[in-house]
Amino acid sequence: MNNCFLEACWGRPVDYTPVWLMRQAGRYLPQYMAVRSRCTFLELCKTPELAAEVTIQPVDFLGVDAAILFSDILTPVEPMGLKLDFVPGPVFENPVRSMADVDKLRIPDPESDLPFVLEAIKILRRELSGKVPLIGFGGAPFTLACYMVEGKGSKDWSGIKRMMYAAPDVYCALMEKVTMMDMEYLNAQIRAGAQAIQIFDTWGGILSPADYERYVLPYTTKLINGLNRTETPVIHFVKGSGTMLPVVRKAGGDVVGLDWQINLGDARNMLGQQTAVQGNLDPGVLFAPNDVIEREVKRILDENAGRTGHIFNLGHGILPTVPPENARFMVECVHRLSKR
C-alpha cells in the first residue's frame, strides 16, 4: 500500500512528496469521455461500478498517490429536495429564496438516499487495496449554499450575498441545515471506507476576511468538529483564501489547501509548522512545454524547503482542455524532484 499521501496529511516524514490532482477524473481524459458518452453525468455519479471505474482511470494513467471518489459536491443536495441538472454547469430548478424554502429542505439519510455513493466507496476500497488511499469529499456549507440560492453558477454571487446581508435569519437557517447534511454525509463516507476527506470551499474567497470569519467559519468549524476523524485526516480547501489563511486554519482541518495566488513558502510561514498544506500549481501551467512544467514543480518544491506535511496538487481543478500527457509528466516531476 502506497501510504505517503496519508503520512503527509498527518505531517509525518515521507520518502517523496505525494501528489494528486483536483478533478483528476474528468473530461481531459479520453478514457473518461468514452464512459461518459454512454450516460449523463448524474447517471455516472449514481452507478457505483461506473463511478468506481472513472475514479481509478487517473490513478492508473497519472501514477498519482491518492484516488478521489467520483461524484459531485451537489450530489447530496438533490435528496434535500432541490431538483438538479447539469447542462453542463449545475442548475437547480427550485433554488432556495425564502425561509419557507429552507423549512422544506430535508436532511438526507445517506444510507437510504445516497446508497450509490457509499457503494462506490466500498467497491473502490476493494479495487484500490494495495494501491493508493481513497479520498471522500463534500462541498463546504457556504459553497453549497451559493449554488442552492443562486440556482446555478454566478459571476458576482449577488443572490447569496443579498440573503447573507439582508436576510441573515434565512441565511443562518440554511447554513445550519446544510452543515447538518454535510456532517451526516461525510461521516457516512468515512464509515463506508473513505480514508481522508476533502472539503471544497470554492467560493469562500468571495467574502472579505472579516465576513468570512463571521458568516462562513462558524459553520465549517462545526462541520469539521463533527466528523469522526481520529483516523481520517480532513483537507480544507478555500479557493481565494490568500491573506485569510490564518482564519481558514481556525476551522481545524488537518491540511489546508492552497490555490496558486500565494507563494507556498509564505503560506507555510503564515500557517505555522503544525499545519500541513496541499497545492499549489496554477492549473494553466499544464498547457506549458515540459521544461516550464518542470521549472514550476521545482519552484514549488523549493518553496516548501523540505518541510514535512506537503501534498503536491493543482491550486484548483484540472482544466478540461489540458493534454493528459502533460498532467502525467507533472506527476513524474514531483516524484523525481522530491525523492529524498
To ligand CP3, the closest distance from the beta carbon of 23 in angstroms equals 4
Q: Return the residues of window 31-50 that contact ligand CP3 according to CB under 6 A.
A: 36, 41
C-alpha cell at 205: 474567497
To ligand CP3, the closest distance from the beta carbon of 215 in angstroms equals 18
Q: Return the residues of window 172-211 that contact ligand CP3 according to CB under 6 A.
A: 200, 202
To ligand CP3, the closest distance from the beta carbon of 100 in angstroms equals 26
Q: What share of the chain is helix, strand, coil (3-state, %, to 5)?
A: 50, 10, 35
Q: Are 18 and 10 in contact (CB under 8 A)?
A: no
Q: Does 95 bind ligand CP3 (CB under 6 A)?
A: no
Q: Does 157 bind ligand CP3 (CB under 6 A)?
A: no
C-alpha cell at 291: 521544461
Q: Does 73 bind ligand CP3 (CB under 6 A)?
A: yes
Site size for ligand CP3, by CB under 6 A? 22
C-alpha cell at 116: 450509490
Distance CA 93, CA 146 (A): 14
Using the rule CB under 6 A, give the single segment among 10-18, 65-73, 251-259, 327-335 that binds ligand CP3: 65-73
Angle between helices 158-166 and 141-150 (to 10 degrees): 110
211 Cβ neighbours under 8 A, 6+ residues apart: 164
Q: Does 117 bind ligand CP3 (CB under 6 A)?
A: no
Rounded alpha-carbon distances, angstroms, from residue 12 to 68, 94, 155, 245: 21, 46, 40, 22
Using the rule CB under 6 A, give the single segment among 8-16, 68-76, 109-117, 174-182 that binds ligand CP3: 68-76
Phi, psi (rounded to 5 degrees) for 277: -130, 155
Question: Is residue 72 among the annotated active site residues?
Answer: yes
Please identify which of the residues 36, 249, 307, 328 carries the catalytic annotation.
Answer: 36
Question: Is residue 27 among the annotated active site residues?
Answer: yes
Question: Is residue 36 among the annotated active site residues?
Answer: yes
To ligand CP3, the closest distance from the beta carbon of 254 in angstroms equals 18
DSSP, collapsed to helix, strand or coil, labels residue 204 as helix
DSSP one-letter code for 197: E
To ligand CP3, the closest distance from the beta carbon of 70 in angstroms equals 5
Q: Does 62 bind ligand CP3 (CB under 6 A)?
A: no
DSSP, collapsed to helix, strand or coil, labels residue 256 as strand
Q: Does 159 bind ligand CP3 (CB under 6 A)?
A: no
Q: Does 26 bind ligand CP3 (CB under 6 A)?
A: yes
Identity of the residue, 238 or 245, whose beta carbon is nearer to ligand CP3 in the bound complex: 238
**R_g (Cα) of the chain, nearest Å:** 19
Distance CA 169, CA 56 (A): 43
Question: Is residue 295 among the annotated active site residues?
Answer: no
Please identify which of the residues 12, 15, 16, 23 carries the catalytic annotation.
Answer: 23
Question: Is residue 328 among the annotated active site residues?
Answer: no
To ligand CP3, the closest distance from the beta carbon of 72 in angstroms equals 5
Rounded alpha-carbon distances, angstroms, from residue 316 to 77, 203, 218, 248: 22, 12, 24, 17
C-alpha cell at 142: 457556504
Q: Contact positions toward ligand CP3, by CB under 6 A? A: 22-27, 36, 41, 68, 70, 72-74, 86, 88-90, 137, 153, 200, 202, 317
- Catalytic annotation, residues: 23, 27, 36, 72, 147
